[in-house]
Amino acid sequence: MSDEPLTVVIPCGGAGTRLASVVGRTPKVLVPIGGRPLLAHLFDAFASAGIQRVVLLAGSGGAEVEAAAQSMAPSGVQAETIIEPEPLGTAGALAIVGDRLPERFFLTFGDLYAAIDWNRLWQFALARGGLGTLFVHRSSHPEDSDVLALSDDKRVTGWSRRGEHRGVGAALSNAAVGVFHRDVLQRIPRGRACDLTGEVLPALVDARAPLFGYVSSEYVCDMGTPARLSSVDEAVSSGRATLRAEMLLLDRDGVITEDSVTRPEDLRLLPGAADSIRQLREARIRVSVVTNQAIVARGSCTEATLDAIHERLRELLDREGAGVDGIYVCPHHPETHHPEGVPELRGPCRCRKPSTGLAEQALTEQGIPAWRTLVVGDTTVDAQLAHNASLACAVVGTGHGGSDGRHPATATWRFSGLPAVSSWVLGEES
């Protein structure tokens, strides 16, 4: 496999009827975004990621796509265009090139703007194995989307087709980007048109085939309607699309500060934390703190003292030109059998992580889409919170370093600390 070139397949044979009023007969993969064809943006991203081969599966307008691909392909990237003999659907077109594909390959649809870290997606997929890894994010409209269920270890365990989802609360949707093993092609029906996301992948999940979900806050958005095209164009032109998240929900102890404290004067920032937060906020990324502080329920600290600790946190950050948009605190403790502390704060609640109350409050108050939100913590409590809320998560090596073992959920990414997270979110580190 090491000798096989990194390959991405782009099904782009759709007629684009919904965009015809805006772009005429231009193939969707050639529609201008931020003043350049979508395909030019994709080629730049592929070249930066070391992807050496791009296979376009075209339909009507295939000759135009082929000519454009040959002229746009950067040095080191081989572009191939396969024109389907008749409309075959996204899976049917994929089946006809199966013998030309490497053991594993990327796939992204030709009406998607995907500004993602392709290398991290690839490494995640290789580590999980199976038939494929799907890029997923929290759905903003689960009532009319395909909705996926993931286990704590990111295996896809359920697929509700559009209109079938009856759950309440957060839900994950498939973004039509992923990494697949060539064996998935054997599951595609032959001799007829067939859709990958509408038929093949749900059937694989129903059959309990090994598929995994890569939960991300990166910008992936389809531009298949005039309204969505306008939205994508704005995100690209403004630079928002290049940010790998638009809001971070940070745990406090072990991410921003050293150990938990009961006095304001004992609070210490971790090296680089303030500078990281400053850089994020300068890029207009929202940063909020989401923290469990059971020291109040235990009686180790009063609520007034905890408020003073957080005023101290704001003061230390302000000195470095940083700051946070919100601080969301759970003062409760779930155990009720201890006599000490504050009885009314002992017992179950919705706000104590990994319950989702604080995260949902932050999402509501900060006004950033959930699918563009990243949870950052140093324990599996934060990973489990992200899983429960259908949010992306990064665990850092500071503090507990994710080694506490209290919950089974896993994070999508691991970083050395908040400075590394910040650099990655800003697109400065891949």
Tokens of 141: 């409209």
Judge whether 253 counts as a catalytic residue.
yes
pTM of this structure: 0.94
Residues with Cβ within 8 Å of residue 304, at least 6 apart in sequence: none
Q: Torsion-angle region of residue 239: left (phi > 0), alpha (psi -120 to 50) or beta?
A: left
The residue from 236, 258, 275 where one domain ends is: 236
Q: Give me the number of domains the chain comprises.
A: 2
Q: Write the CATH number for 281.
A: 3.40.50.1000
Q: Evaluate whether residue 1 is within a structural domain.
A: no
Q: CA–CA separation, 347 vs 403, rounded Å?
A: 26
Tokens of 23: 């772009």
Query: Taking 70 as the threshold, does the pLDDT of residue 196 lie above it?
Result: yes
- From 146, 253, 378, 382, the catalytic residue: 253
Are residues 159 and 201 in contact, defined by beta-carbon separation less than 8 angstroms? yes
Q: Evaluate whether residue 252 is within a structural domain.
A: yes
Q: CA–CA separation, 430 vs 419, rounded Å?
A: 13
Q: CA–CA separation, 373 vs 26, rounded Å?
A: 34
Q: CA–CA separation, 51 vs 42, rounded Å?
A: 11
Nearest-CA neighbor of 201 among 192, 191, 213, 218? 213
Angle at 278 between CA 307 and CA 356, to 5 degrees: 55
Cβ atoms within 10 Å, residue 334 = 12
Residues 64 and 134 in one domain: yes
Residues 250 and 232 in one domain: no
Cβ atoms within 10 Å, residue 227 = 11
Residues 268 and 356 in one domain: yes
Domain with 337, as residue range(s), is 243-425
Residues 299 and 211 in one domain: no
Q: CA–CA separation, 129 vs 212, rounded Å?
A: 9
Residues 226 and 324 in one domain: no
Q: Write the CATH number for 199.
A: 3.90.550.10
Q: Give the pLDDT score at 218.
A: 98
413-415 and 392-396 as β-strands: parallel, antiparallel, unpaired? parallel
Cβ atoms within 10 Å, residue 93 = 25
Query: What is the share, in percent, of the chain residues with pLDDT greater than 90?
Result: 82
The residue from 180, 207, 236 where one domain ends is: 236
Per-residue pLDDT tens digits for 287-321: 999 999 999 999 999 999 999 999 999 999 999 99
Are residues 87 and 99 in contact, defined by beta-carbon separation less than 8 angstroms? no
Angle at 53 between CA 48 and CA 57, to 5 degrees: 120
Judge whether 153 counts as a catalytic residue.
no
Per-residue pLDDT tens digits for 37-72: 999 999 999 999 999 999 999 988 899 999 999 999
The residue from 173, 201, 236 where one domain ends is: 236
Query: Taking 60 as the threshold, does the pLDDT of residue 124 lie above it?
Result: yes
Per-residue pLDDT tens digits for 267-278: 999 999 999 999
- From 111, 117, 251, 382, the catalytic residue: 251
Are residues 344 and 363 in contact, defined by beta-carbon separation less than 8 angstroms? no
Q: Evaluate whether residue 190 is within a structural domain.
A: yes
Residues 145 and 207 in one domain: yes
